[in-house]
Amino acid sequence: MGWTDTNQEWRVHPHGEWVELGEHAWAIRGELPDMPLGRWMVVARQEDGRLVIHNAMALDESCMSTLDSWGEVGRIIVPNGLHRLDSPAFAARYPEAEVYCPSGALKRVSKVVSVAGVLAEFPHDARVKYQALPGTGGAEGVLHITGSDGATLVFTDAIFNLPHQPGVQGWFYRWVTASTGGPKVTRVFRLMCVKDGPLLAKTLHELANTPDLRRIIVAHGDIIDQGPSEVLRSVADTV
């Protein structure tokens, strides 16, 4: 099974422990076979008490029990057409949950899971908002979480934050895909998803001005919690 396939059954890959992001949000990092990029799943609790799952990831029963203790899983965000691996298994585990994805990913995501709505139809509130990422042709959005310790922005593949890595794979990610070496918009994302570079750069600059921005989470790489606004402006200037 490759990482771009999908899991119909609950298949757990290695992962860490929950990281608390304030009173109503959490994140957890996992691994995938033969792909040294890692991945993050983020959970946020909306004002109605229901949980939003961003980039669903099958976890062991201990971590899933903890997740269930925070509230009912009400909404599952499949953040793009590639990050759909565990969405069928997650939707089967929580059949009452609504699935949302960006409009540009709808065709691909709908092949593996029933989609309730696209990004523009996501029911946001004061705590959790899911907005489009202009300049990407509808390929991705960005999740805003407002909590007691400030604001969190959650990206998927629009921004990576990985160090350079050893070996043949490390060479490939560094020189071919330009995916490593700190926070950046990768060469692959530019080629596949960026339809309007100046517009994406403008959007990232605007997001850098998010009030009380505490951290940025990306699907692949470390959480950016040191000077996140400055980092986002630097990334925007390289689009």
Give pTM, 2 decimals: 0.93
> What spatial distance separates the first Cα and last Cα of the chain, rounded to whole Å?
33
- Looking at residue 169, what is its pLDDT? 83
Which secondary-structure segment (H or E) carries 148?
none
**What are the CA-CA distances from residue 58 to residues 40, 193, 195 (Å)?**
11, 27, 32
Cα gap 55→42, rounded to integer Å? 7
In a domain, 7, yes or no: no
Specify the CATH number for the domain of residue 130.
Answer: 3.60.15.10
- Looking at residue 1, what is its pLDDT? 33
Q: Give the torsion sign (CA, 101, 104, 110, 115).
A: positive
Q: In which residue ranges of the chain is pLDDT below 50?
A: 1-3
**What are the CA-CA distances from residue 119 to residues 106, 116, 213 (Å)?**
10, 10, 22
**What are the CA-CA distances from residue 129 to residues 54, 105, 123, 203, 208 (Å)?**
12, 18, 8, 16, 16
In a domain, 5, yes or no: no
In a domain, 3, yes or no: no
In a domain, 4, yes or no: no
Q: Which domain holds residue 171?
A: 19-236
Cα gap 175→155, rounded to integer Å? 23
Is 129 within 8 Å of 144 (Cβ atoms)? yes
- Looking at residue 33, what is its pLDDT? 80
In a domain, 1, yes or no: no
Is 43 within 8 Å of 53 (Cβ atoms)? yes
Q: Which amino acid is at 169?
A: Q
In a domain, 9, yes or no: no
68: which residues sit within 8 A by CB, 6+ positions away? none
Burial of 117 (0-12, 13-18, 19+ CB in 10 A): middle
In a domain, 139, yes or no: yes
Of the candidates 210, 208, 190, the residue with the CA atom closest to the CA atom of residue 135: 190
Is 68 within 8 Å of 44 (Cβ atoms)? no
Residue with tokens 């009400």: 74
Number of folded domains that form the chain: 1
In a domain, 8, yes or no: no
- Looking at residue 2, what is its pLDDT? 41
